[in-house]
Amino acid sequence: MDQLLVGLGNPGTKHARQRHNAGFMALAAIAAEHGFGRTGRRFRGAVRSGRIEGTAILALCPLTWMNRSGEAVNLACRYYKVPVAQVTVFYDDLDLAAGKVRVRRGGGSGGHRGIDSIDRCLGRNYRRVRIGIGRPPGQEVAERYVLRDFSRSELEWLQPLLAAMAVAAPLLVAGEDDRFMNRIVLEAPPPEAAEP
């Protein structure tokens, strides 16, 4: 495998539509768009493999629960000898406005337990695709907010966003992070940008 794409979330149908599973959703959209093979179980996760523009990709969704995601990622990296620099992780971010996407390499976790776990196992020199879910309204506790399903109104920006990420994935795989982000903004502007 040339690259490892990782989506973060929690396993089980109970969690499938929750904000904390945005990483799982993004990876599923990419795998479907690019015709990846059937889902199997390996490396303590759900895996699919395929190619994007000739690059061999393993798509991994750790099934270890969020705070132990690094264990699954580490197993896959070691088995395929994928350098940490060729790992890309998709995850939800409270500190990013809803519907925005940011790509960066390294940096802190922002308190995200899945990222904390991967940092402990791999170090920080991997690419992160942050999917903004925004902060909870009012006094709602962040931990409860991320474990709630996306609302119907949120799905209006989430579904186009996931589709745009899937279509733009070849840019990300090619290392063209800025073009990836620009393409997403054009095809799926965040809610506030979409308003007149």
| Catalytic positions, written as ranges | 20
d(CA 100, CA 168): 15
d(CA 192, CA 173): 28
- Asked if 90 and 62 count as a contact pair (C-beta separation under 8 A), the reply is no
How many CA within 13 A on the CB side of residue 61? 23
Q: Which token pair is 26?
A: 């993004």
d(CA 80, CA 178): 28
CA torsion angle for 100, 48, 5, 76 (degrees, to 10)?
Answer: 150
